[in-house]
Amino acid sequence: MKISRAVLAAIIVTAMSSCANPDVQSSNGPENDPVADRAAVESVIEQYINAANANDPDLLLSFVCDDVEAIAPGQAPVNGPDAHQLYRSFFEPFNFAFESNTTELVVSGDWAFRRYAYDITLTPKDGSEVVNIQGFGIHMFRRDGDGGWCVAKDMWNNVSAQSEGA
């Protein structure tokens, strides 16, 4: 039996919602508006990208859950404050130009799953060579206690990295 990616993603998101943070109130019920939920997640994605391009780690972290898990290329997973420090460390040596295209977005209850492709240009603040990185990633969003959405899981890879002088 062949299962489509969207169906598989919905199954995974639904299964994960049963393991949700017990401090987060579930909104699965008749008051849930799938169209509004999708628009809200898309808004968070846009604001997250804008924060990266504004080189504003505090603003970017305002769209990330306090207990976020980040899985960066070649590194062990980090959670919570350690993940927040990982995000902050990206902004210390570089200015960002970040482009990201959503290739799949599934919203189900209090969870959303986003698959995306990205292209980042990192301009070192010390004037050294500019680096371009392309890759793919997955964001998992969770509805927080006040009904907003935040990045709960962030996993990405780098399929190419090249200095402009290379």
> Cα Rg for the chain, rounded, in angstroms?
17
Instruction: Name which residue leads in pLDDT, 166 or 134.
Output: 134
Q: Is 20 part of any domain?
A: no
Answer whether 149's CB lies under 8 Å from 141's CB: yes
Domain contains 45: yes
Residue 124 domain flag: yes
User: Could you tell me the residue range of the domain that residue 60 belongs to?
Assistant: 30-163
56-80 pLDDT, tens digit per residue, is: 999 999 999 999 999 999 999 999 9
CB 87 within 8 A of CB 58: no
Beta pairing class for 94-108 and 111-124 = antiparallel
Non-local (6+) Cβ contacts of 6 within 8 A are 104, 106
At 13 the pLDDT is: 38
- Domains identified in the chain, total number: 1
Residue 58 lies in a domain: yes
Whether residue 158 is contained in a domain is answered as yes
Q: Is 3 within a domain?
A: no
Yes or no: say if 79 and 87 are a contact pair by the CB < 8 Å rule: no
For residue 10, being part of any structural domain is answered with no
User: What is the residue-averaged pLDDT of the chain?
Assistant: 85
At residue 160, the pLDDT reads 85
> Which CATH number does the domain housing residue 110 bear?
3.10.450.50
| Residue 86 belongs to a domain | yes
